[in-house]
Amino acid sequence: MSQAKLLTLVLIYNKPHILLGMKKRGFGVGRWNGFGGKVRSDETVEDAAKRELLEEANVTVSSLDRVGVLTFEFDGEPELLEVHVFKSQQYEGLPQESEEMRPQWFHEDCIPFDEMWPDDVLWYPLFLEGKKFRGHFKFKGHDTMLNYTISEEASALD
């Protein structure tokens, strides 16, 4: 395995509502997800998360809480994806559709897991409970999860 590619995922969560985006193009197209993407070489993980949120949903956040780190392995692919998951309750701006994402609010009891990545149903409960977590997921293609581990983390995630 090569070094992991760093990615971000931001979820705006104002209990009981969560802002998700329908991915319109690229990796994950046709699925509801949080907002995020690749970390550029000249930015921190948190700066990348803020930039991606602005680009994809037209909202800004002043602070983010890192709540999870998820590693994804795809059978036959040498590169791991390391996704840093952030939560924010405070944001500025009105969520607006971009070329890449169509934002929509969901009640926490109506999250569309059947239209999301298969791993989401496993770690979202920890997220919704305000817990920190770490997980590793191995996929065959983009729809079949071969195995996974997930754990609650008591301390800070780095």
* Alpha-carbon distances, residue 152 vs 35, 83, 118, 144 (angstroms): 22, 16, 19, 23
Tens of pLDDT, residues 55-114: 999 999 999 999 999 999 999 999 999 999 999 999 999 999 999 999 999 999 999 999
CA–CA separation, 56 and 100 (whole Å): 6
Tens of pLDDT, residues 100-139: 999 999 999 999 999 999 999 999 999 999 999 999 999 9
Domain for residue 126, yes or no? yes
32 neighbors 9 (Cβ within 8 angstroms) = no
Domain for residue 58, yes or no? yes
Domain for residue 158, yes or no? no
Q: Which two tokens stand for residue 64?
A: 């983010």
Q: What is the CATH number of the domain that holds 148?
A: 3.90.79.10
Domain extent, residue 50, equals 5-153
What is the tally of structural domains in the chain? 1
Q: Which two tokens stand for residue 97?
A: 């559709």
